[in-house]
Structure 1
Amino acid sequence: MAFTLQFTKGHGTGNDFILYTDPAGEHPLTAEQVRALCDRHTGIGADGVIRAVRSVSIDEGARSLAEDSDAEWFMDYVNADGSPAEMCGNGIRVYARYLIENGLAALAAGETLTIGTRAGVRDVQRTSTGGFQVDLGRWTLDDGEPLVRVKELKVARPGQGISVGNPHIVVALADVDELALADLTYVPRVDPEPEEGANIELVVPRDPLVKDGIGRISMRVHERGSGETLSCGTGVAASALATRHWAGAQAPNNWRVDVPGGTLGVRMFAAEDGEHVALSGPADLVFTGEITLA
């Protein structure tokens, strides 16, 4: 039976999402419906769908509430291919703005909005530039050195695996010409192939790498389940972490990362449970509408 979906389109540095409200968890979308909505030719077009659902109304939300009882809202994020994702750094900033502008949550300057995700609870704050900063929590550096083959790059490159709640493999390239040459319309091949897949980031350091105490890199990304996107928030954080790891002990903890859709900030800082990484940048809501779904 057909039903009408009220939605909002939003993006963070070009990484775009379809958002809708389902507080009681009564209207989850099928993978087929998600694919239809995200199709850029026959649907609305997006890198993924975010459902605003109360944590008490979704099974995964129980873990969020056990971790932090303030996590009233859960970010049910699904990739464009219909597969659920653990986290989305750009998506959670857009989700925060969506909750606030729809009167579902409040966030004054200096306060924290706590949001449940499949990767755990995440804290969001406003920034002085009008955007949002999200604490992505602890990160981990993976062992091994998988080889990544990207179409139009002549040889496979070693990658650095990093988890920031979801899996990433970061690959350093020689220069911006290589970065532009890479064809990310094809899925990069990884050996050995990760069981759950991974987002693949291609990174080039700026010249100079560090300016005024801030590290600088450029990045492109192929997102698991979505293809190449204009930006990937968790991928930006992973890329900055990998570059700092390669650069050594004197590398800074603050980074500026340029992606095709804009610029994001990354900050590494000490916390009680280990080092955390935070991501900051804009979040915009573009338009609202309705669409009838089969």
Structure 2
Amino acid sequence: MNATPAETTGPILRTLSGLRFSKGHGTGNDFVLVADPEGVRAIGADQAAALCDRHRGIGADGLIRAVPSRFLPEGRELLTEAPDAEWFMDYRNADGSLSEMCGNGVRVFVHFLRTEGLIDLPDGGSLTIGTRGGVKTVVRTGDGYAVDMGPWEFIFPGEASAKAMDSLVTADGLEVARPALSVSMGNPHTVVALAELSELTGTRLFTAPKVDPVPANGTNVEFVVPAEPLVHDGVGSVTMRVHERGVGETQSCGTGACAAAVAIRHWAGAEAPDAWRVHVPGGVVGVKFFAGPGGHEHVELSGPAVIVASGTLS
């Protein structure tokens, strides 16, 4: 879906007249947030795209509707396995398309629930929420939040384990296609390692990179430069830029930061650390690997969440 045309944005936004909203971000990855505790304010693709339009709407990388899980089919299904997942993060990309979830968005979503008085979450307390990427557990950590993003997996597991690469990525500013590794964090990512920061800054992400083969539902593409040295005081460090499906380049991507750490750690070998700092244009997030239920390795994403404004659509 393309950006909402000028002649239709106004009429579409008028259908949302009186809607209360907030604007928030996690390391620059920004969202329009709407509370719908009664489950009566479904927001469609065209409406979400109009709200997220940076010139004629509020402007954001995505729209998050906070709705009780029982009001959505996906939410009711999750409640059968996680009865305490009372709240569901109904997330759409800036173009209005539905997305599985967003790591930065999860933190901002929980912070929004707190600021709206919809939950009580003390420092150190945890909250279970529903997303289209599954159930997520979020812990409040002082001025931020840590999210158990669940297990990671290779999208093309056989090829990745054998070759460490599974696709080629072509992008403006890079002279030749680069090998990449595709990782699922509940949503798809394709990670490209670059040698120098100059390559990273010279890569132009105004248009979507081309990925071959591309995962079935498209993919987010991360371009990553490992630090030199890669590990300091037991913590790995990388710098990343990302082009998100349905959005374009964003200041940060939580699931993308996790995928970048997965790929660089995989390439670095058995001695690579479990704790990582991922530097994005909007700040720094933490990524940590730990043993989860059933022997599956999980990924924790940590970082800040900020609400910057609230208002009502005229």
TM-score, normalisation: structure 1: 0.97
CA positional deviation for 1:111: 2.0
Determine the structure 1 residue equivalent to 2:45. Answer: 31
Pick one of 277, 288, 291 that aligns with 2:310: 288
Amino acid at match of 2:68: R
8 Å CA contact 2:181–2:191 kept in 1: the answer is: yes
Q: Which runs of 4+ in 1 moved over 6 A?
A: none
Q: Distance in 2 between matches of 1:50 and 1:142?
A: 26
Does residue 171 of the first structure (1) align with residue 185 of the second (2)? no
Amino acid at match of 2:114: I
Determine the structure 2 residue equivalent to 1:79. Answer: 93
CA positional deviation for 1:25: 2.1
Q: Distance in 1 between matches of 2:263 and 2:216?
A: 21
Determine the structure 2 residue equivalent to 1:132. Answer: 145
CA positional deviation for 1:233: 0.3
**1:166-245 alignment, distance < 5 Å:** 166-245=187-266
Deviations 1:87-106 (A, max 9, x none): 10000000000001111111
**1:100-115 alignment, distance < 5 Å:** 100-115=114-129
Determine the structure 2 residue equivalent to 1:158. Answer: 179
8 Å CA contact 2:238–2:279 kept in 1: the answer is: yes
Does residue 149 of the first structure (1) align with residue 170 of the second (2)? yes
Deviations 1:240-268 (A, max 9, x none): 01100000000000000000000000000
Q: Distance in 2 between matches of 1:38 and 1:97?
A: 20
Q: Distance in 2 between matches of 1:33 and 1:271?
A: 38
CA positional deviation for 1:194: 2.1
Q: Distance in 2 between matches of 1:173 and 1:24?
A: 47
Q: Distance in 1 between matches of 2:213 and 2:271?
A: 31
Amino acid at match of 2:185: V
8 Å CA contact 2:24–2:33 kept in 1: the answer is: yes
8 Å CA contact 1:52–1:74 kept in 2: the answer is: yes
Determine the structure 1 residue equivalent to 2:55. Answer: 41
Does residue 275 of the first structure (1) align with residue 288 of the second (2)? no
Does residue 249 of the first structure (1) align with residue 305 of the second (2)? no
Determine the structure 1 residue equivalent to 2:10. Answer: none
CA positional deviation for 1:239: 0.2
8 Å CA contact 1:149–1:188 kept in 2: the answer is: yes
Does residue 94 of the first structure (1) align with residue 108 of the second (2)? yes
Deviations 1:66-86 (A, max 9, x none): 121000000001000000110
**Structure 2 unaligned spans of 5+:** 1-13, 160-165
Deviations 1:166-201 (A, max 9, x none): 110000011100000001111000111222001100
CA positional deviation for 1:126: 1.3
Q: Distance in 1 between matches of 2:39 and 2:100?
A: 18
Q: Distance in 2 between matches of 1:135 and 1:272?
A: 12
CA positional deviation for 1:127: 1.5
8 Å CA contact 2:37–2:68 kept in 1: the answer is: yes
Deviations 1:18-45 (A, max 9, x none): 0011123211112111111111111111
Determine the structure 1 residue equivalent to 2:20. Answer: 6
Amino acid at match of 1:86: E
Deviations 1:106-163 (A, max 9, x none): 11233210110001110000124x1000000011023241111011100001110101
CA RMSD, Structure 1 to Structure 2 (Å)? 1.0
TM-score, normalisation: structure 2: 0.91
Secondary structure (helix, strand or coil) at the match of 1:32 reads helix
Does residue 67 of the first structure (1) align with residue 67 of the second (2)? no
8 Å CA contact 1:23–1:57 kept in 2: the answer is: no
Q: How many matched pairs?
A: 291
